[in-house]
Amino acid sequence: MVWTKAKVNLALSLVIIFLGISVADLKVGFYSNTCPQAESIVKRVVSGASLSDPNLPAILLRLHFHDCFVEGCDGSILVDNGAISEKFAFGHEGVRGFEIIEAVKAEVEAACPGVVSCADIVALAARDAISLANGPAYEVPTGRRDGRVSNLSLAKDMPDVSDSIEILKDKFMQKGLHAKELVLLSAAHTIGTTACFFMTKRLYSFLPGGQPDPTINPVFLPELTTQCPQNGDVNTRIPMDRSSERVFDKQILQNIKDGFAVLQTDAGLYEDEATRRIVNSYVGLLNPLFGPSFESDFVKAMVKMGKINVKTGSNGEIRRVCSAFN
């Protein structure tokens, strides 16, 4: 069988569609003519809100991730349609930032009614949040439309802190994301906190007899048990990146390598040969002189994630408020 260039392109397109990555009609500057002030409004509102909440960068970054992993990057997590709302799924436990997105949407609607989607606002807010935490600045392709479905049952396969590395790799692969993206997007834990609720098993019942996860560095274990004591307040929050929780950097990858990972899933990245090799490529002796750029690769991973199953063209809608369908 002779493969022409047209057939090759068609085959690649089918593979992309199968893996859930959609690129149709997304482009940088999508609103340059219809709402040129959109991105500046997002940046201003996010920057202002971060002054009163230093954890906001991590909150908005997590919101974008959770939105994209259920029904694609379509703002479905923002909808409040009663008890069945996607936002109430167990896999979205602790996700916040909805009021910030709604505040941005109100200002954008005042300037350009019915033009800018909530899904795009979430993606742009995450970009600006990363920059506020001294992370890399980058351009976000826009043109997403908002989904018309929001149901907590659709979020049952969200990545979970107790997932094995193989399960995580499979869940990411289902979204068209590979081991490299798994490592890079997990490194987003360089900013933000987690609740002791998610640490209980790792610290107090990981092995028979109430033993902790043996991959935790012995120097680090007393710190964690002090912060999250057995039978203590499970809502207490601790940094996910030891000593660097409000600065976007690759320190978390060094922590993972050295046994100072907070989350079990982060620690698991160093137990798998493929992901361990990726972690080492960013923190090895040859980096940064000869190794890959963590910041550049993180941006590529974020942009790729932001294209998962997006609605474009005549699909979906442009909501007037983010919490309700039109």
| Residue owning tokens 């991959």 | 215
| Residue owning tokens 């909805």 | 98
Residue-level pLDDT at 110: 98
Residue-level pLDDT at 290: 84
Which one-letter DSSP state was computed for residue 319? Answer: -
pLDDT < 70 regions, the chain: 1-24
- Give me the catalytic one of 64, 66, 92, 178: 66
Q: pLDDT digit string (tens) for 260-280?
A: 999 999 999 999 999 999 999
Long-range contacts of 98-104 (CB under 8 A, 24+ apart): 98/63, 98/322, 98/323, 100/45, 100/46, 100/49, 100/56, 100/59, 100/60, 100/125, 101/63, 101/125, 101/322, 102/78, 102/321, 102/322, 102/323, 103/45, 103/49, 104/41, 104/42, 104/45, 104/46
| CATH code, 37-154 | 1.10.520.10
Q: Is 64 annotated as contributing to ligand binding?
A: no
CB 10: neighbour CB atoms within 10 A?
12
Q: Which residues neighbour 288 within 8 Å (Cβ) at sequence distance 6 or greater?
A: none
Q: Is 233 annotated as contributing to ligand binding?
A: no
H-helix segments, 187-239: 200-204, 221-227
Q: Report pTM.
A: 0.91
Q: Is 296 annotated as contributing to ligand binding?
A: no
Residue-level pLDDT at 7: 47
Q: Is 70 annotated as contributing to ligand binding?
A: yes
Backbone angles phi, psi at 222, to 5 degrees: -60, -35
Residue-level pLDDT at 14: 47
- Tell which CATH architecture fits domain 165-304: Orthogonal Bundle (1.10)
Q: Is 72 annotated as contributing to ligand binding?
A: yes
Domain boundaries along the sequence of the chain: 37-154, 165-304
Say whether 66 is catalytic: yes
Q: Is 241 annotated as contributing to ligand binding?
A: yes
Show the CA angle centred on residue 252, arms to residues 250 and 256, nearest 5°: 125
Q: Is 80 annotated as contributing to ligand binding?
A: no
Residue-level pLDDT at 12: 46
Cα–Cα separations (whole angstroms), residue 116 to 122, 210, 307: 11, 52, 17
Query: What is d(CA 59, CA 53) in angstroms, rounded to the nearest whole number?
Result: 10
Q: Is 295 annotated as contributing to ligand binding?
A: no
Q: pLDDT digit string (tens) for 278-326?
A: 999 999 888 878 889 999 999 999 999 999 999 999 999 999 999 999 9
Residue-level pLDDT at 244: 86
Q: Which tokens belong to 77? A: 């997590």
Which residues make beta-bridge pairs with 146? 317
